[in-house]
Amino acid sequence: FLHIGFPTPAQRKAGLTGSAIGVHGPPRRSEQLGLDFARLGVTDGCVALSRDAQVDVVAEWVDTWGVSEIILRAPSS
């Protein structure tokens, strides 16, 4: 689980709420069953990846670049 800095102070001021939001892999059972967890869209705000290997790639990127926080930004309208 890689924490995402959401909501930021500005997002909180705009009324957005959340906690324990992050990047994570699939539930153990879904990967064993071959389900594409990320496509199911079953998280409450998290960024779900379909395979543990994908989480490993993101974690390596975070470690390599010294990322201390991932900030989720709302898409531009």
Who's near 5: CB < 8 A, 6+ residues apart? 69, 70, 71, 72
| Pairwise pLDDT comparison (76 vs 59), residue with the higher score | 59
Q: Is the pLDDT of residue 77 over 60?
A: no
* Separation of alpha carbons 14 and 4, rounded Å: 18
- What is the structure's pLDDT at 64? 94
Burial 25-55 (b: 16+ CB within 10 A, else e): bbeeebbeeeeebbeeeeeeebebbbeeeeb
**Residue 46, amino acid:** C
Q: Which range among 26-30, 31-35, 49-53 shows the weakest confidence by mean pLDDT?
A: 31-35
Q: Answer whether residue 44 shows pLDDT above 80.
A: no
